[in-house]
Amino acid sequence: MITVKVDSVEMFNNETNEFIVVDGAVLRLEHSLASISKWEGIWKKPFLSKPPANNDELFSYFRCMCLNEDADDIDDNVFKSISSEDLKRIMDYIEDTKTATWFSDKNGKRHRGKNIVMTSEVIYWEMTQFGIPFECENWHLNRLLTLIRVCDEKGQPPKKMDQNALLRQYAGVNAKRRPRKH
């Protein structure tokens, strides 16, 4: 979770041609499966393959991330008033892996079928397949995706050794077994 303090600000309302004062707020934000599920419900598109493409979608996601009890009552202009420094902090938080686990493949991507579009429902399904409790929907999303990937990789059968590697292994074992001549 990340906390962002948004100061009160005076803005110009183009519709009424008046200046308005937007009260500040302290926002508690969490990048989680629950957040992207809410966002996908609003925008009807997969968050992971088509992330927020404009400010309206981005600020909408921040609202979906908001854990404040009065989140529904917070003026949209509060989200639009987030400073550029805090915006960078939020984006860094979203991109953070939140885990010490790493994988040795080149691109760090999970291996999936070409036709699968990653949506929150697909992630919930994966959670059920691996017995991950739904309480984990509130974890940082990247940490949850890492756990799912670990479950997936640990559940794979061991890879077969290629013929040359197998022959080298046998030769090494045989060399150790042969009695040494003195």
Answer yes or no: are the C-beta atoms of 61 and 52 closer than 8 Å: yes
- Residue 182 scores a pLDDT above 80: no
**124 within domain boundaries:** yes
Please state, as a whole number, how many other Cβ atoms lie within 10 Å of the Cβ of residue 120: 21
CA distance 164 to 107: 27
**Residues 6 or more apart whose Cβ sits within 8 Å of residue 83:** 6
- 84-89 contact pairs (CB < 8 A, 24+): 86/4, 86/5, 86/6, 89/2, 89/4
Q: What is the reported pLDDT for 141?
A: 93
pLDDT digit string, tens, across residues 86-145 = 999 999 999 998 878 777 665 555 544 456 678 889 899 999 999 999 999 999 999 999
Q: Which domain holds residue 110?
A: 1-160
pLDDT cut 90: percent of the chain above it = 51
Phi/psi at 84 (5° precision): -65, -35
pLDDT band with cut points at 50, 70 and 90 for residue 175: confident
pLDDT for the residue numbered 153: 85
Note whether residue 66 is domain-resident.
yes
Checking if the pLDDT of 178 tops 80, the result is no
Is residue 78 within 8 A of residue 22, CB to CB? The reply is yes
What is the percent of the chain with per-residue pLDDT over 70, rounded to a whole number? 90
Residue 176 lies in a domain: no
CB 82 within 8 A of CB 4: yes
Residue 177 falls inside a structural domain: no
Q: 14 falls in which pLDDT band (50, 70, 90)?
A: confident
Domain-located, residue 91: yes
**Count of the separate structural domains present in the chain:** 1
- Dig out the tokens for 10 from the structure: 């005076």
Residue 165 belongs to a domain? no
**pLDDT digit string, tens, across residues 129-165:** 999 999 999 999 999 999 999 998 887 777 777 788 7
Of residues 156 and 41, more confidence is placed in: 41
Specify the pLDDT at position 154: 83
Whether residue 40 is contained in a domain is answered as yes
d(CA 6, CA 75): 12
* Residue 170: inside a domain: no
